[in-house]
């Protein structure tokens, strides 16, 4: 049984522009958020998202359904990001002000000030991870891809992904534990 994305993809492959538009609407925000968080910039996030969808449309006919459409598009997005990093040698961390701007203005899980501060600290700690671990965290936790989908996007074994996530979580726990002691 085909999911919404797969049905829309079939329509887009057949030249249905309405299906193509719906496919963009269904995935645009998620891909943009992925890039915004990784690049640290709305502008770079927008540029990378546009490049990703350009690649998606130029290769839409190569989608054969061996994985979910979401996994396929995240794989393209991951490769776009890796190419962008390689060209730019991006190594800077985001300021606390930038992270504050990432939190939703309206009702959200971070309405409480304490939770907002913890989220800011956690996001900042994620930025300190090595690039491979950061990618794993972004795809699995922020983008909500399954372990299998994340491993497929990163082109690694599921066991390798689990190891990276376990190491990342241990680092994050140690960092957040240290920050608790510093604030008391």
Query: Per-residue pLDDT tens for 1-19?
Result: 457 888 888 888 888 888 8
CB-neighbour burial class of residue 106 (10 A; exposed 0-12, middle 13-18, buried 19+): exposed
Kindly report, residue by residue over 76-85, the tens digit of the pLDDT. 999 999 999 8
* Burial (0-12, 13-18, 19+ Cβ within 10 Å), 134: middle
Q: What is the pLDDT of residue 156?
A: 95
What pLDDT shows up at residue 66?
Answer: 86
Q: What gap in Å lies between CA 164 and CA 135, rounded to an integer?
A: 10
With tokens 């690049």, the residue in question is 39
In CATH, the architecture of 27-183 is Up-down Bundle (1.20)
Closest CA to 34 of 19, 20, 46: 46
pLDDT beneath 70: ranges in the chain: 1-2, 89-116, 178-184
DSSP symbols for 66-98:
SS-HHHHHHHHHHHHHHHHHHHHT--PPPPHHH
Q: Residue 124 has which token pair?
A: 């900042």
Model pLDDT, residue 25: 87
Q: Is residue 157 left, alpha or beta, with left meaning phi > 0 and alpha meaning psi from -120 to 50?
A: beta
Answer whether 31's CB lies under 8 Å from 77's CB: yes
If you search the block for the tokens 């390798």, which residue do you land on?
160
Q: Specify the pTM.
A: 0.60
pLDDT, residue 115, reads: 65
Helix (H) or strand (E) holding 169: helix 158-183
Residue 110: the pLDDT is 42
- pLDDT at site 175: 83
């Amino acid at each position: 049984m085909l999911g919404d994305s797969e049905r829309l993809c079939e329509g887009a492959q057949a030249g249905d522009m309405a299906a193509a538009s719906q496919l963009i609407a269904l995935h645009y925000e998620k891909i943009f958020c992925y890039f915004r968080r990784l690049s640290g910039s709305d502008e770079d996030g927008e540029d990378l998202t546009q490049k990703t969808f350009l690649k998606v449309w130029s290769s839409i006919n190569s989608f054969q359904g061996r994985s979910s459409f979401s996994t396929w598009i995240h794989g393209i997005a991951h490769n776009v990001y890796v190419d962008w990093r390689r060209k730019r040698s991006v190594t800077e961390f985001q300021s606390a002000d930038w992270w504050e701007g990432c939190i939703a203005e309206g009702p959200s899980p971070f309405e409480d000030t304490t939770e907002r501060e913890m989220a800011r600290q956690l996001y900042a700690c994620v930025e300190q991870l090595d690039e491979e671990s950061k990618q794993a965290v972004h795809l699995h936790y922020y983008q909500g891809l399954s372990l299998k989908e994340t491993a497929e996007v990163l082109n690694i074994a599921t066991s390798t992904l689990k190891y990276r996530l376990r190491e990342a979580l241990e680092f994050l726990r140690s960092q957040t534990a240290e920050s608790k002691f510093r604030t008391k």
